[in-house]
């Protein structure tokens, strides 16, 4: 290829590459950042999610198929729809990371000797629709399936949070909650 042809190709390719990279940058910048929810509001939403999941008969068999054990959960909320909601009763859907472990009567009977690391559990991003009735949608497991289901379930501005996972402290918060339930003389309200 002589110098004249190379310059022609450059004159065609350079503008084309500039346009393509500009489109990519505009698309990337057009995804709005999710609203930072105030901490008291996030705590109210997390409490609502935990209550809904712990009392849902279908969720009870999410990890452990046998009857008996019940889930004890914590939640870390990262978004809501509508995004403008400022009170729980204005929220249609809560987007959150949940971490749950299944507790049995035998675990409670062991008290502080219960090995929490041996309890069955699940940690995942989830969308909880407040209903009525309350329902939830979780990502599907599997290579290639999981990312697609995250993109389908979570609004674009919340997908990065769904993919990133919860803060490591969520596991400590769950273990602390379980220890409190085990040490309390009153059975867990989720065990009803």
pLDDT above 50 (res 29): no
State the alpha helices, DSSP H only, in the chain: 3-29, 39-54, 57-60, 105-110, 145-153, 156-164, 169-183
Q: Return the higher-pLDDT residue of 17 and 133.
A: 133
Q: Name the least confident of 21-25, 32-36, 176-180.
A: 21-25
pLDDT above 80 (res 93): yes
pLDDT band at 191 (very low <50, low <70, confident <90, very high): very low
Q: Quick one: 10 and 88 in the same domain? A: no
Q: In what order do the strands lie in the sheet with 121-129?
A: 70-81, 93-103, 121-129, 135-137
> Which residue segment(s) compose the domain that 20 sits in?
1-30
Q: Quick one: 67 and 99 in the same domain? A: yes
Q: What pLDDT is stored for residue 17 in this prediction?
A: 43
Q: Quick one: 50 and 85 in the same domain? A: yes
pLDDT above 50 (res 27): no
Query: Could you give the number of structural domains in the chain?
Result: 2
Q: Quick one: 13 and 50 in the same domain? A: no
pLDDT above 90 (res 43): yes
Q: Return the higher-pLDDT residue of 29 and 70.
A: 70
pLDDT above 50 (res 40): yes
Q: Quick one: 179 and 88 in the same domain? A: yes
Check if the beta carbon of residue 98 is closer than 8 Å to that of residue 73.
Answer: yes
Q: Quick one: 69 and 124 in the same domain? A: yes
């Amino acid at each position: 290829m002589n110098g004249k042809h190379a310059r022609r190709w450059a004159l065609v390719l350079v503008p084309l590459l500039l346009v393509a990279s500009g489109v990519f940058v505009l698309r990337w910048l057009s995804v709005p950042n999710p609203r930072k929810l105030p901490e008291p509001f996030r705590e109210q939403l997390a409490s609502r999610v935990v209550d809904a999941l712990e009392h849902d008969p279908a969720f009870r068999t999410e990890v452990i198929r046998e009857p008996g054990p019940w889930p004890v959960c914590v939640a870390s909320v990262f978004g809501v729809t509508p995004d403008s909601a400022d009170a729980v009763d204005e929220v249609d859907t809560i987007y959150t990371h949940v971490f749950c472990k299944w507790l049995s009567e035998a675990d409670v009977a062991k008290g502080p000797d219960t090995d929490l690391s041996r309890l069955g559990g699940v940690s995942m991003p989830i969308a909880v629709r407040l209903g009525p009735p309350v329902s939830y949608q979780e990502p599907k497991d599997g290579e290639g399936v999981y990312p697609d289901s995250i993109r389908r379930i979570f609004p674009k501005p919340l997908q990065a949070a769904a993919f990133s996972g919860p803060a490591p402290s969520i596991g400590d918060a769950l273990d602390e909650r379980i220890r409190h339930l085990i040490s309390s003389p009153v059975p867990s309200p989720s065990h009803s």
